[in-house]
Amino acid sequence: MTPAYLFMKPINQSKLLIVLMLIIVPLAGEPQFHPFGGEFTNFRVSFGSPVFLIFLLLLRQYSRLKLGLAAGVFVCLFRAGLDVMSSGLPFDLALYSHAPTFFYYFIYAVCFALPNLKSKAIYEQAIAITFWAILAEIAASIAELSAMNLLLSDQIHLLTLPMLGRITFIAFLRCFFILSFFFLFQLYTTEARLQRRTKEKDRLTTLISGLYEEAFELRATLKTAEDVTHDCYLLYDELQQSPDPARQQDARTILMIAGKVHDLKKSHQRIYAGLQELTVNRHVDDYLPLEKILQLMIYAQTKYAKAQNKFISFNYTVDKKLPPLHAFTMLSILNNLCANAVEAITRQGRIDVNCERTKFNRLRIRFYNSGSAIPKRRLQNVFRPGYTTKFDSSGKASSGVGLTYVQHQIESMGGTITVDSDGVSSVTFTIEVPVFPMQKGVPRE
């Protein structure tokens, strides 16, 4: 039998806000004071209208008139229900006595249905909200008092200037509360927006670093294809000059192979051009402080370790004298080393990265991990293409090209990488590369 909750649709956030409005606005109207006596004793001042305005600002996609109608009806029903429970009044009489309150909320909403606040800047919005809040407060209060005159009084009582002055004073006091909340709300939304942008920027940086790695590998493949094409043509030229028909046939075969490799190279060149476009024309920073780059690496590798059900702690130290470095170059190197360590660690361990600036403007990175080891006799094979000590659950070996890629990239920058292990429970990679090629302002291919 299918559970019933599988057929339930998720609650729309806007509809949830409407429900909260219909609950909170009546409750906010209960802490109150009565500024007038006599025939207008029932007129109250509470937190209902400021709270109602908050919901009007949050629910801008809905008709203000409908929101005012709904709020006014629910406040009247709520207050009538309280009177029935507290004093035993018949519900219809209790509802009639609170009918003027409906006009307060309805007229209040009508005032905010007039201006268009969406197109204004934040400071212009604040000024406009202040003006319309004061105007709405005065108009709604006058509407409620007038409704009391017509519905609940035996005779018409005129509103006096002192009463209007008191209404205006209360409206000004309330507008400061509303304005304060407006700025707090805008500050919250701005901060939340910045956090989302930061996360998206970090995600893009990590993604582009992977593309940068692929572009580096593809560039090496293009060079290999070019060399193969050249060698094939030289061999073709040599065989073509032979009087032996069989060797001439081999020459034509070699030429056909050279043509296919050339076509493959052209296809890869188009892919490489696309990757170059993605890794050069981007909307994220090319150059970042090394501390930030390490934080991005740790963020990605922590999730990778959790996905493999491994408990790994990450630590790093960075020399403050290091300038911002090319983020994608560093991330492609560090992510490869870190992912390799995560995969090698059996169950739990530690990964430490120490970065320092040495003499002659070089960067030294010591990449240490516990929880795995490499036998001393195998250390010289670590960077050999295809060599691996890692196998998946089915016994299939990994590709064994990650460390080869790292070595090629580091050596292409004029650097070195070495590896050491105690053969028991730790492995240390030491990288030294010149800082200059990775600094901002240095032309890159």
Residue 74 forms part of a structural domain: yes
Closest to 112 (Cα-Cα) out of 131, 87, 85: 131
Q: Are residues 151 and 205 in the same domain?
A: no
- Is the pLDDT at 416 greater than 60? The verdict is yes
Q: What is the pLDDT of residue 3?
A: 45
Q: Is residue 32 part of a domain?
A: yes
Tens of pLDDT along 77-91? 998 888 888 888 888
**Residue 156: what pLDDT?**
57
User: In this structure, is residue 142 part of a structural domain?
Assistant: yes
Greater confidence (380 vs 209) lies with: 380
434 or 383, which is more confident? 434
Q: Are 254 and 311 in contact (CB under 8 A)?
A: no
Least confident window among 246-255, 280-289, 321-330: 280-289
Same domain, 152 and 215: no
Boundary residue ending a domain (280, 312, 345): 280
The 10s digit of each residue's pLDDT in 41-80 is 554 556 677 788 878 877 878 888 889 899 889 988 998 8
Q: Which of 280, 297, 322 finishes a domain?
A: 280
* 264 and 312 inside one domain: no
Domain that holds residue 138: 11-159
Residue 192 is assigned to a structural domain of this protein: no
Provide the token pair at 270.
């188009």
Q: What is the pLDDT of residues 116-141, one digit of tens each?
A: 766 555 556 667 777 787 888 888 88
- Average pLDDT of the residues in 264-281: 71
CA distances from 221 to 215, 256, 268, 379 (A): 10, 20, 8, 26
Q: Which of 218-227, 318-327, 350-359 has the lowest mean pLDDT?
A: 218-227
Specify the pLDDT at position 179: 66
For the whole model, what pTM was predicted?
0.47
Domain contains 6: no
What is the separation of C-alpha 232 from the centre of its chain, rounded to a whole number of angstroms? 51
- Find the mean pLDDT for residues 411-436: 92
pLDDT grade, residue 231 (50/70/90)?
confident
Residues 100, 233 within the same domain:
no
**Domain boundary pick from 131, 159, 187:** 159
Average pLDDT of 359-382? 90
Assess whether 110 and 65 both reside in one domain. Answer: yes
Torsion of the alpha carbons at 239, 244, 249 and 254, rounded to the nearest 10: -20
Tokens of 443: 């032309």
CATH of the domain at 384: 3.30.565.10
Is residue 248 in a domain? Answer: yes
Amino acid 198: pLDDT: 75
CA pair distance 164, 168, nearest whole angstrom: 6
Kindly report which listed range (146-155, 214-223, 394-403) carries the lowest average pLDDT score.
394-403
Same domain, 107 and 235: no
What phi, psi does 375 have (nearest 5°)?
A: -60, 145
Residues 261 and 301 both lie in one domain: no
Structurally, the chain folds into a number of domains equal to 3
Instruction: Say if residue 333 is exposed, middle or buried (CB neighbours under 10 Å; 0-12, 13-18, 19+).
Output: buried
Flag whether 178 is in a domain: no
CA of 335: how far to CAs of 188, 202, 377, 431, in Å? 34, 14, 26, 14
Question: What is 26-62 written as a DSSP string?
Answer: HHHTSSEE----GGGTT--EESHHHHHHHHHHHTTTS
**Which pLDDT tens digit goes with each residue over 283-298?**
445 788 899 889 888 8
| pLDDT tens readout for residues 341-352 | 998 898 899 999
Q: Do 276 and 304 reside in the same domain of the chain? A: no
Q: What are the DSSP calls for 96-161, one per residue?
A: HHTHHHHHHHHHHHHHHHSS--TTS-HHHHHHHHHHHHHHHHHHHHHHHHHHHHHHH-SS--PPPH
Q: Do 331 and 404 share a domain, yes or no?
A: yes
Residues 223, 91, single domain; the answer is: no
The answer to whether residues 397 and 276 belong to one domain is no
In a domain, 176, yes or no: no
The answer to whether residues 98 and 214 belong to one domain is no
